[in-house]
Structure 1
Amino acid sequence: MTDTQKPAFRRVMLKISGEALMGDTAFGLHPPTVERIAREVKSVHDLGVEICMVIGGGNIFRGLSGSAQGMERTTADYMGMLATVMNALAMQSALEELGVFTRVISAIPMDQVCEPYIRRRAVRHLEKKRVCIFAAGTGNPYFTTDTAATLRANEMSCEAIFKGTKVDGVYDKDPKKFDDAKRYSTITYDEVLQKHLGVMDASAIALARDNSLPIIVFSLDEPGGFRGILAGEGTSTRVHG
């Protein structure tokens, strides 16, 4: 995209997994990877696009795996929400090192480290060109960060959700295991649900469908991928009605 071109979207939600922040490590945060993703976000922010973010917590703690090991599900989910706050603070630090003003907004109040979620205040931050990172999911157990991203995207009037993953779109089966895996260039919400494609969980897909919010799945590992997809370049899958 040249500097004179206008991006296709004015306000977007970027959803990434906590695992995306691990780099090649087994768990936790890999600072060079966090910085690389922050540079991707900055490159889009520099175009004038208003950016919301939701980051998962799976690199630190995943509620479902905790409950599978015998932990009470509600407690495990709250621990997962706290992990997302840690990731959000790390991303905020990386973005502000690059000169991008950022606010971490938590669904669970913890005023010493971040803001509580107030919709009108969050919208005002976006209007002032601050990146808003929504942490702690929806604030409720049994809901994933995919659902939280879709909920916040609707509340913030985002025009699309960009789901950054390890692969360059939605496939009919795992492309890392099957050489004949087929990538969809576009696919409907209903097809994603019927074929159990695992783009996002069913609640998130249904919420996006009910509000006609497109989901664009792309590879976050591709340098310049986020900016490129916004310009209509590169490889991705668009989930729509």
Structure 2
Amino acid sequence: MPQDAPQTSFNRVMLKISGEALMGDQGFGLHPPTVERIAREVQSVHEMGVEICMVIGGGNIFRGLQGSAQGMERTTADYMGMLATVMNALAMQSSLEGLGIHTRVISAITMNEVAEPYIRRRAVRHLEKKRVCIFAAGTGNPYFTTDTAATLRANEMSCEAIFKGTKVDGVYDKDPNKFDDAKRYDDVSYDDVLAKRLGVMDASAIALARDNNLPIIVFSLDEPGGFRGILSGEGTYTRVHG
């Protein structure tokens, strides 16, 4: 760890980002400069000595729900969405390794030529060796989102919190991009997120986090240095907890 690295109380965290976060202003697909910018955010936290897990959505390439809504069989559409997350994970791995950070892509769907299979003990060992672990292909099951996958893996890896990187700096009672009077929460309970349908994560993910007392910290991924700053106790964010 660099001597000037700020102190943090976190030893191991899960970073959950959407696939849309990787597409920049393109509206679709991968935007390599945006992938590299996010990789540098991860690098800055890695330099603090924090062990990092990641789950990246696939919505920039394919969304299972949208495919299903257009007449595609839901299970097939969901598997296609899982494959999209593997593509995003490989792109992020490439950027991180370009920055000198050892990274492993660990897939819930077996594809030995491009990713490791998910074996919990092996993944934990990678983290202990300060490798970034990107968990791809969701849970390996249809009908479960990458939000649920992130919460599941965070619990299995004994992460201390899920950091959900979004376009806004926390959880609001309504869309702050549409309503000037939107109110941001500093703290909100799991039950309020579910009851008020605040859209932090899907209900299965929130319930799983609540049942295991795993806090979710929602922050803006568009804010340069935001991920590192929040781990240092600075910045604006919302904490979802019991």
TM-score, structure 2 normalization: 0.98
- Map of 1:123-142 to 2, 5 A cutoff? 123-142=124-143
For residue 6 of structure 1, report the CA deviation from its aligned partner: 2.1
For residue 50 of structure 1, report the CA deviation from its aligned partner: 0.0
SS at match of 1:162: strand
The answer for the alignment partner of 1:238 in structure 2 is 239
SS at match of 1:92: helix
**Structure 1: 5+ residue runs without aligned partners?**
none
The answer for the alignment partner of 1:206 in structure 2 is 207
The letter for the 1-side match of 2:194 is L
Q: Is the 8 A contact 2:5 2:47 kept in 1?
A: no
The answer for the alignment partner of 2:24 in structure 1 is 23
Report which stretch shifted further, 4-13 or 182-191: 4-13
- Measured against aligned partners, the alpha-carbon deviations of 1:161-218 in whole angstroms (never above 9, x if no partner) come to 0000000000000000000000000000000000000100000000000000000000
Does the C-alpha gap of structure 1 residues 171 and 39 become closer, same or farther in structure 2, counting only changes over 3 Å? same
Separation (CA, whole Å) in 1 of partners of 2:212 and 2:39? 29
For residue 5 of structure 1, report the CA deviation from its aligned partner: 3.7
- Measured against aligned partners, the alpha-carbon deviations of 1:62-84 in whole angstroms (never above 9, x if no partner) come to 00000000000000000000000
Structure 1 vs Structure 2 CA RMSD: 0.8
Does the C-alpha gap of structure 1 residues 102 and 143 become closer, same or farther in structure 2, counting only changes over 3 Å? same
Corresponding position: 1:120 with 2:114: no
**Structure 2: 5+ residue runs without aligned partners?**
none
Separation (CA, whole Å) in 2 of partners of 1:114 and 1:105? 6
The answer for the alignment partner of 2:151 in structure 1 is 150
Separation (CA, whole Å) in 1 of partners of 2:9 and 2:183? 27
SS at match of 2:142: coil
Corresponding position: 1:59 with 2:60: yes
The answer for the alignment partner of 2:193 in structure 1 is 192
Q: Is the 8 A contact 1:21 1:33 kept in 2?
A: yes
SS at match of 2:140: coil
For residue 8 of structure 1, report the CA deviation from its aligned partner: 1.9
Q: Aligned pair count?
A: 240
Q: Is the 8 A contact 2:5 2:48 kept in 1?
A: no
Separation (CA, whole Å) in 2 of partners of 1:114 and 1:193? 35
The answer for the alignment partner of 1:111 in structure 2 is 112
The letter for the 2-side match of 1:204 is A
Report which stretch shifted further, 3-12 or 85-94: 3-12
- Map of 1:37-56 to 2, 5 A cutoff? 37-56=38-57
For residue 4 of structure 1, report the CA deviation from its aligned partner: 5.3
The letter for the 2-side match of 1:91 is M
TM-score, structure 1 normalization: 0.99
Q: Is the 8 A contact 2:57 2:85 kept in 1?
A: yes
Separation (CA, whole Å) in 2 of partners of 1:139 and 1:102? 20
Q: Is the 8 A contact 1:3 1:47 kept in 2?
A: no
Separation (CA, whole Å) in 2 of partners of 1:4 and 1:165? 25
SS at match of 1:238: strand
The letter for the 2-side match of 1:188 is S
Separation (CA, whole Å) in 2 of partners of 1:37 and 1:148? 20
Separation (CA, whole Å) in 2 of partners of 1:160 and 1:109? 27
The answer for the alignment partner of 2:171 in structure 1 is 170
Q: Is the 8 A contact 1:12 1:52 kept in 2?
A: yes
